[in-house]
Amino acid sequence: MSDEGNQIENIDETERERRKFNLIPGEDLMQIHRPSLFAFAGMYVMALLIGAVHYIWTFMPSEAPGQDPGIIQDILWSFVSSSLGESVGFPIIMLVLAWFNRWINISSSTKWFTMTMIVIAALPFTAWLINAFAADSPVNFLSGSYPYEIAGIFWIVFLFVNVYYFQRSFCYAITTDAVIFRKDFMLTNSVRRILYSNFTDVIVQQGPIGTIMGYGNVVPLTGSGLGLGEETIGISAGAAGAALDSKEGESVATSLPKKILKMFFVLLTSQRTIRTVKPDPADCFYGVRKPHEVTVTVNDRWKGADSGSTLEEIKDLMAAQAKSE
């Protein structure tokens, strides 16, 4: 993606672009930005992992590794490498991968991506049910075992196309009066306009990969909480701590160790909720090229807006004093 497509200074906007960003009369378009190709790298990597899971049993040897495996190991390996083991193991691995994807909290940790992974995990079992109970039905188009190899290629291509389409659905504009975030995805569109006078801060986020590749997030914060989100830190104690409660009639020697263990258990599993910066591709400059240059431009317009509003307040105050005299 070229810099010319990402950042254009003092562009001569067309009527189409003015309608696209809903510009008001007297407002000029300064810059247009889109997410970098690497901004959604997590989704592309996860798509490759999903495809790779489909090929685990293709390259798995039929015999247990080692020169002299034991009887139990040989029996377990025979089950794992069988078609039944594949039918059971594939959904488990996919669900673990979906959980890990949500836990690491990267660009692919979205609801729609996680739901897609759950659907992919359920497809082999669904095909088995159809083959077992509706073998003669037209719905049973597979007529046998689930085609893991073909499905792996299909899902890689499907996810790559949709991730690229999702990435291209975001477009950001810096104007003389505001920043505008537009999203066009799946026949729906939304436009969010934030005046510079509503800003409280502008945050730049760049991870290690973003620093190397030259992209990052520019997140404007407002008094309404835009750009912020809640995050829970820690592990829930749940009902496990109830087992350590002291019971009536217990001696001090019995209840004291339980109380000490419960205290450590609560400390280790305690939770707290914090408000932190949560970049949303629809509400910030997500994964844009040269984020620090974008920040300089936004801060410059923000400074001008603050100066202008201060001058207006001074003028209004002087006018009010003149009338009172």
**Range picked from 196-210, 232-246, 272-286 for highest mean pLDDT:** 196-210
Better-scored residue on pLDDT, 78 or 294: 294
Whether the pLDDT of residue 303 is over 90: the answer is no
Q: What is the mean pLDDT of residues 240-267?
A: 56
Residue finishing a domain among 139, 166, 193: 166
Whether the pLDDT of residue 273 is over 70: the answer is no
Backbone angles phi, psi at 175, to 5 degrees: -115, 180
CB 191 within 8 A of CB 22: yes
Residue 136's pLDDT is: 59
Same domain, residue pair 176 and 285: yes
Same domain, residue pair 229 and 312: yes
Better-scored residue on pLDDT, 181 or 304: 181
If one counts the domains in the chain, the total is: 3
Residue 280's pLDDT is: 83
Look up the domain containing 58 and give its range: 41-166
Residue 9's pLDDT is: 46
Q: How far apart are CA 106 and CA 296, in angstroms?
A: 26
DSSP string of 91-124, one letter each residue: HHHHHHHHHHHHHHTSTT-SHHHHHHHHHHHHHH
Same domain, residue pair 50 and 152: yes
Residue finishing a domain among 126, 151, 166: 166
Q: What is the mean pLDDT of residues 123-129?
A: 78
Residue 230's pLDDT is: 59
Whether the pLDDT of residue 244 is over 50: the answer is no
Q: Decide: helix, strand or coil at residue 182.
A: strand
Residue finishing a domain among 166, 199, 221: 166
Q: Per residue in 199-240, pLDDT tens? A: 888 889 888 888 888 899 999 888 777 766 655 554 444 444
Same domain, residue pair 215 and 190: yes
Run of H or E including 6: helix 3-6
Tokens describing residue 262:
């419960």
Whether the pLDDT of residue 137 is over 60: the answer is no
Same domain, residue pair 172 and 317: yes
Tokens describing residue 319:
């006018």
What predicted TM-score, i.e. pTM, was given to this entire model?
0.68
Q: What is the mean pLDDT of residues 50-58?
A: 85
Whether the pLDDT of residue 167 is over 80: the answer is yes
Residue 112's pLDDT is: 82
Q: How far apart are CA 278 and CA 36, in angstroms?
A: 18
Burial class (CB in 10 A: 0-12, 13-18, 19+), 294: buried
Same domain, residue pair 11 and 51: no
At residue 198 the predicted structure's pLDDT band, cuts being 50, 70 and 90, is confident
Same domain, residue pair 114 and 230: no
| CATH code: domain of residue 205 | 2.30.29.30
Q: How far apart are CA 283 and CA 287, in angstroms?
A: 12
CB 171 within 8 A of CB 288: no
Same domain, residue pair 56 and 87: yes
Q: How far apart are CA 80 and CA 138, in angstroms?
A: 31
Q: How far is CA 134 from the centre of its chain?
A: 38
Note the residue count of the chain: 325
**Range picked from 34-38, 156-160, 165-169, 236-240 for highest mean pLDDT:** 156-160
At residue 5 the predicted structure's pLDDT band, cuts being 50, 70 and 90, is very low
Q: Which of 39-53, 192-206, 273-287 has the lowest mean pLDDT?
A: 273-287
Better-scored residue on pLDDT, 320 or 64: 320
Residue 70's pLDDT is: 54
Q: Per residue in 71-102, pLDDT tens? A: 555 555 555 556 666 677 788 888 888 888 88
Same domain, residue pair 110 and 211: no
Q: Sign of dihedral through CA atoms 272, 286, 48, 120? A: positive
Helical ranges in 168-251 per DSSP H: 208-213
Same domain, residue pair 181 and 315: yes
Strand residue runs (E) in the chain: 29-33, 170-175, 178-185, 188-195, 199-205, 215-222, 228-233, 272-277, 285-289
Q: How far apart are CA 49 and CA 98, in angstroms?
A: 11
Same domain, residue pair 93 and 49: yes
CB 298 within 8 A of CB 175: no
At residue 10 the predicted structure's pLDDT band, cuts being 50, 70 and 90, is very low
- % the chain with pLDDT above 90: 14
Q: Decide: helix, strand or coil at residue 225.
A: coil
Average pLDDT over the chain, rounded to whole? 74
Q: Decide: helix, strand or coil at residue 296.
A: helix
Same domain, residue pair 65 and 122: yes
Whether the pLDDT of residue 31 is over 80: the answer is yes
Tell me which residue has tokens 């003149």. Answer: 322
